[in-house]
Amino acid sequence: MREDFAEILRLVRPGARVLDVGCGEGELLDLLTREKGVDGQGLEISPEGVAAGLARGLAVVQGDGDSDLDHFPTRAFDYAVLSKTLQQMREPRHVLSELLRIADQAVVSVPNFGHWKVRWALLSRGRMPETGALPEPWWSTPNIHLCTLRDFVVLCDELGLRIDACASLAEGRAARQIDPRAPIENWRAETALFLLSRPSPPGAEPPAPADLFG
């Protein structure tokens, strides 16, 4: 099981309404349906992925996350999930904003281009890095908007989104809850998983970061 899938499974409430954006062949949605009994729906751009999801008995529709999230009703879901897909979007700022319009919370995982292995590859070899989180060479990668952990936090601030929790993920290791604003984590986190929500109403005390991972 992919490390971010394991943490998303831990995070999502049983029976929740979940939209998996860029669901691929439906592995995560199938897992959430079987293990957590979620009321799940998938959005996938590739016909092959849609066919595979339907073959699993999942409610998957063909659509483009860049443009088709606009058609979903406001607050139609408890969670909108975007697992290692945001960096493949043409309009990541718009997509992230839409996730928190159509769902109460968003679960977003992104590879961190500020990880020390990435920095070392650029410094020592002068080449685009290939790591566990970024396995494809530059000429075949689907990633078009890579970011660092710090970049993502700044974008959330600009959009007025609240970071309820964040975990650092690495293949073969347990998730580690982190403060994504800590400078050291921009070096240490290979992949980061965020739980996001809308800001608190004016005058309300924002909740403390939740201990949700690990």
Backbone φ, ψ for residue 123 (5° rounding): -70, -45
Are 28 and 91 contacting, i.e. CB atoms less than 8 angstroms apart?
Answer: no
pTM given for the model: 0.89
Model confidence band, residue 206 (pLDDT cutoffs 50, 70, 90): low
Mean pLDDT for 14-24 is 95
Model confidence band, residue 22 (pLDDT cutoffs 50, 70, 90): very high
Are 100 and 188 contacting, i.e. CB atoms less than 8 angstroms apart?
Answer: no
- As a whole number of angstroms, the distance between CA 86 and CA 74 comes to 20
Q: Read off the pLDDT of residues 83-105 as tens digits, 9 standing for 90 and up.
A: 989 998 999 999 999 999 999 99
Q: Read off the pLDDT of residues 122-133 as tens digits, 9 standing for 90 and up.
A: 999 888 878 878
